[in-house]
Structures are given as C-alpha cells and as structure tokens.
Structure 1
Amino acid sequence: MQLQKSYEQHESGTLYLVPTPIGNLEDMTFRAIKILREVDLIAAEDTRNTRKLLTHFEVDTPQISFHEHNTQERIPQLVDKLLGGQSIAQVSDAGMPSISDPGHDLVRACINANVPVVPLPGANAGVTALIASGLAPQPFYFFGFLERKKKDQVAQLESLKNREETMIFYESPYRLKELLKNIATVMGEGRQVVICRELTKRFEEFIRGSAEELAAWAEETEIRGEICLMIAGNDNPEMPVEQTFDDLSVTELVEKLMSEQGLSSKDAIKETAKIRDMKKQEVYQAFHGF
C-alpha cells in the first residue's frame, strides 16, 4: 500500500502530467502554462512540436526528449533528477500524457521510487469526440490504436464485436479505409460508426452512419488529419455457448479437447481426468482401448 499526498512537502521533486491542446491552442489551461513555467525540466514526446507551444505561451523552461524509442535510457535519468529535487513536467504531442505515449512507464517508475505524480486535467481527443458523436457516452471503452496488419486487426475486432459499450479508437488517415472495411465485415455493415476528423481545428468534421456507409464514403474521399473513430456497442451480443461434456464418452471427450483446443493427447487426457474426476491412468486406458 502507498499513500500519496500530492501537495505536501516532499524531499523529491514532483512529476507533473501536463495535457496539451489537441488542435486549438486556446484549450491550453492557465494552470498548465503555470506548471510548465515553474518546473525545472519538460520531458517532451517531440521537442520540436513542444517548442512551438512553449514559444506561443512564452515558456522558456528547458526540454528533454522522451519518446517510445528512448524510454530505457530516459526513465532512469528522469527519476534520478526527480529524486535529486528537480520537478519535471511530462507532455505528449497532443492531449493527455500516458495515453498512447510512453508516459505510463515513467509514472510506474516514479511510483516505485516514491516520487509524487500529479496529473493536470485538460484536453482529451477520445472523450471530446465521444460527447458529440451521438453514440451512448457511457459506459464507453477506450482502445486506442488497433494493430496495423489486417489479420491481427480482424482478430482484435472479433474480440471486441460483442462489447456493449461505445468503443473509441485512434487511427491514421492512411489506414482508415481498410479499417472501415474490416469493421463492416466483422461487426456487420449496419453497425453505427462515427468518425471525428481534425477535432478542435478549423476543418473539424463528424461523419456519422453505418459501417457500410462510412466505408463507401472513405472510398470516395481523400482523408487527411487526425482521426478519432467510435463504434456503437452491440445491442444484441452473442452469448458464449456453455460447453457441456456430459453426453460424451471418455474417448470422445479426449478427442474433442484435442481437436477444438489443440491439446496433445497427453494434455487432453489430463484435462479429461479433471472434468470427469477420474484418475489419469483410467482415462489413458479407456482412450487407448486397454
């Protein structure tokens, strides 16, 4: 058990998780600007992008790069600085730190080192898009980015198709067409889908309709910008069929476990013994006809 009192005096510095605008710079909070000015260092996903933000708000705090390719090197360095009394703000390119960026690993390292972690509220693309989508806002399930390869992506969609919550995804505009086709194939052409493009920016738009309609729209449209995609929950989820083995002989049960679960005969015999509350030797003899 660990108790963190965020605003009491600490020997170490504090890690602040500072959200940044997802498009419109006016969504930056007064508190976020204040923290960025007060900390000793800013750990940024892309220092070039963050420099534009800092320049706009006249923040001259030094930066250090912190992204998915240098976490193993950076995390010990940042924790050492925090333990030495420096305070650090972690920012991503847009929105909340730790969401689809390596901030979570830094948070865990700080918690393990008893360094206080203080989150600031602010812009979040998924929830912002959700409340204007027209789909049920609660409960919702945030997924983030799906796998890129078709086989892996289809498998993920298969595992999600019976969820009853509204599902939220992030996607590249270059992969959106294929994703929409996969959604229509796996979840059904009539499943309701909402795409939010360029959220909070000048060309923000919502495209609402069935998976079939949006797949057709995507085929005829040059898609650009940041994409947040939401899929309606399944109103009639398929309930898993409860397995029953009561009508099978011992041999049939072993064969069923081997064919459907890919078990070896040895493992299938062991599992059958558990199911039937028998000794493994008895199942072995029955299966091999001894």
Structure 2
Amino acid sequence: MNLPAAGTLHVVATPIGNLGDFSPRAVETLKLVAAICAEDTRRTRPLLQQFGIDTPLIALHDHNEDEIAERLVVRLVAGESLALVSDAGTPLISDPGYRLVRAAREAGVRVSPVPGAAALIAALSVAGLPSDRFAFEGFLPAKAGGRRDRLQALAGESRTLLFYESSHRILDFLGDAASVFGADRHAVVARELTKLFETVLDGPLGALRSRIDQDPNQQKGEFVVLIEGAGDDEAAKLAEGKRVYAKLAEHLPPSTAAKLAAELTGAPRKALYGGS
C-alpha cells in the first residue's frame, strides 16, 4: 500500500475494546503517515505499540485544536500525509477533530476515512430497536438541570434515541429519562461493548434503572443508552405537550400553560393539567 503523493488527512477508526477490530488497512495507514494526531497520546501510544507502529504522535484535543489546526494544514498542503485518531472508535463521534477536518477541506486537502468501530452503531446493531431512523445525542450535560432540559426537548421525538453516558452518572441519567419519557418506555443499556464484561440489557426504563442500581458491576464501564421513540402520533403529541407545558408552567398559571401547550402541540389539555 502506498499513500498518495499529495498530502491526505486520514481519519482512522481504532478499536473500542477488542483489538481484533483494528483493521489491517488502519494499521498500515498509521505506519505510513508522517504523524498521528491523537486526542490523548497516553492512551493511543500503547495501542500503537501493540501493532508495531512507531509513527510520531501529536496531541490534538478540545483545548488546542484551534491553535494547531492551521499548522497541521500547512504540513498537509506541503505534501505530508497525517492521520487523525480518537481515544477509541471513530474520530469526531463525541470527540475533537472536526475543526481540523474542516480546515483541511477548506484548504483543498483530501480527507479520507478509514472506517471501523463506533460504539453507537455497535449498540444499535444489537439493541432490537427501530434502526431505520435514529438520533444520536452523545453526552448530555453533566448537571441535572441541563440534562433534564435536553431530555424534555426530546420527549416527542419518534426516532430511536442514542446517548453516551459515564459510569458515575448512569443511574442519574436513567432516573431522569424515566421521569421524562415515562418509566414504561422501552430502552436498552449497552455496556463495555466488545470488551470482556460486555452486557446488553433491555426493558422498561424504570425497571432497567432498578436492575442496574441493584448490581454494582452493571454500574462500571462505558455506556450507550438507547431509548425507543415516542411511537404513534398521539403519543408524540402528548410527549411534546408535556414538554411545552413544563416550560410554560415556569412562568404562567398551570391552567393557562396547559391551554397554550394544548393549542401549540395538539395534545389533550386534560392530560397536561388536571384542572377544569
């Protein structure tokens, strides 16, 4: 394999756990480029060493991407080929890198994907939820208020929803999701995908939270949470009506908020507010 004479930015997926998912093409590309831009060089270096890759590493993360993207593009324009990787999986999926990719494309540099593992797609493929239409939301805000606001904004969404979550927030996330979407809404929690302790649990949101709360082992690792969409039109209207009502009720009397929310969304007024 020979890389093109002109500089190319290769966006290279790395394993999310199982090293057997590292493609031969990805390994060869990383051996041949002039340098590898990595989110955390401390995590990427051991992976490269496993495959005999001694290409120089450049740290590229949220705090320095704007600063060094221009210098990297100069190298690309001059004819060097570079690679971009993240800590695990496909770059730019809830990871830095889009500024570099955009700058390279604006400079006329070829940007080429070397595809591979992505946790959200791996989870979707085994979840048993509708996969023809889905919405990926990544990590929600760490603070409870911001997280609930984002969930409320998605209450009427009919597509399958996918989220990333960390071990120290998974119970809070599931609790908030059950409160917003309803404890009976079907969901899947995929944990440590492709790794030794991989588990995929499914069931109603409320039951899933209770199950994970009772098993400390299920609270460890990296999570993808998938939540079934709002379903039929009436369910979607009701979910959206509740979201709008909650916002309006912060500033208006409950009866007025319910009347306006019903007019705006088509949701039944009595289902939003118990008053007459």
Q: Does the pair score TM above 0.5?
A: yes
Question: In the alignment, which residue of structure 2 is the partner of 1:125?
Answer: 119
Question: In the alignment, which residue of structure 1 is the partner of 2:236?
Answer: 237
**Aligned with 1:94 (options 88, 98, 122):** 88
Query: SS at the partner of 1:132?
Result: helix
CA distance in 2, matches of 1:220, 1:74: 46
Quick check: 218-227 or 29-38, which moved more?
218-227
Structure index of larger Rg: 1
Q: 1:119 to 1:159 in 2, by over 3 A?
A: same
**Aligned with 1:228 (options 212, 224, 230):** 224
CA distance in 1, matches of 2:43, 2:143: 29
The C-alpha deviation readout for 1:150-196, integer Å capped at 9, x for no partner, is 11111111111111111111010100111111011111010111101
CA distance in 1, matches of 2:194, 2:212: 21
Question: In the alignment, which residue of structure 2 is the partner of 1:19?
Answer: 13
CA distance in 1, matches of 2:4, 2:196: 43
Q: 2:66, 2:99 within 8 Å by CA — same for their partners in 1?
A: no
**Aligned with 1:211 (options 198, 205, 208):** 205
What is the Cα deviation at residue 218 of structure 1? 2.7
Aligned-pair Cα RMSD in Å = 1.8
The C-alpha deviation readout for 1:66-90, integer Å capped at 9, x for no partner, is 1111112221121111112111000
CA distance in 1, matches of 2:154, 2:42: 37
CA distance in 1, matches of 2:160, 2:48: 35
The residue type equivalent to 2:139 in the other structure is F
Question: In the alignment, which residue of structure 1 is the partner of 2:148?
Answer: 154
Alignment of 1:237-276 (within 5 A): 237-238=236-237
CA distance in 1, matches of 2:96, 2:48: 21
The residue type equivalent to 2:167 in the other structure is P
Count of matched residue positions in the alignment of Structure 1 and Structure 2: 236
CA distance in 2, matches of 1:49, 1:155: 33
What is the TM-score of this pair, normalised by structure 1?
0.78
**Aligned with 1:182 (options 172, 176, 181):** 176
CA distance in 1, matches of 2:3, 2:50: 32
What is the Cα deviation at residue 8 of structure 1? 11
Query: SS at the partner of 2:127?
Result: coil
Query: SS at the partner of 1:90?
Result: strand
CA distance in 2, matches of 1:57, 1:231: 37
The residue type equivalent to 2:174 in the other structure is L
Quick check: 218-227 or 117-126, which moved more?
218-227
What is the TM-score of this pair, normalised by structure 2?
0.82
Q: 1:62 to 1:196 in 2, by over 3 A?
A: same
Alignment of 1:131-142 (within 5 A): 131-142=125-136
